[in-house]
Amino acid sequence: MPRRPRPSLARSLGRFFGEIGRAVAAEPGKGDGPREVSRTIEEEQRSTPEGRMTLRRTVIEEIEIEPPGPQNAGSESGGRG
């Protein structure tokens, strides 16, 4: 397998400052929503009397972390009542 060429200095600096800018613009404590940790795609092709058919299964695993807040604090213990 051939090695990829190293990214140029301009590309690396652009990526670095882009990440800094994204961090500055983000609201602290607010999640970005679910974060994808794994994606698996299975594909199978079959011949049928109607023509070629492709079966595709996509499995996406995500993690979503919600910080505890005043509204969520009592929900785990059943709340009031």
Provide the phi-psi class of 70: left if phi over 0, else alpha when psi is between -120 and 50, else beta: alpha
In a domain, 51, yes or no: yes
Q: Where in the sequence is the domain holding 59, given as residue range(s)?
A: 34-66
* pTM confidence score: 0.39
In a domain, 74, yes or no: no
Give 9-46 pLDDT, tens digit per residue. 999 999 999 989 888 887 766 666 788 889 999 999 99
Q: What letter represents residue 38's amino acid?
A: S
In a domain, 40, yes or no: yes
In a domain, 47, yes or no: yes
Q: What is the pLDDT, as a whole number, of residue 67?
A: 72
Give the tokens for residue 19. Answer: 């990440």
Query: How many domains in the chain?
Result: 1
Q: What is the pLDDT, as a whole number, of residue 31?
A: 62
8/61 Cα distance (integer angstroms):
33
In a domain, 19, yes or no: no
DSSP code per residue over 18-34: HHHHHHHHSPTT---S-
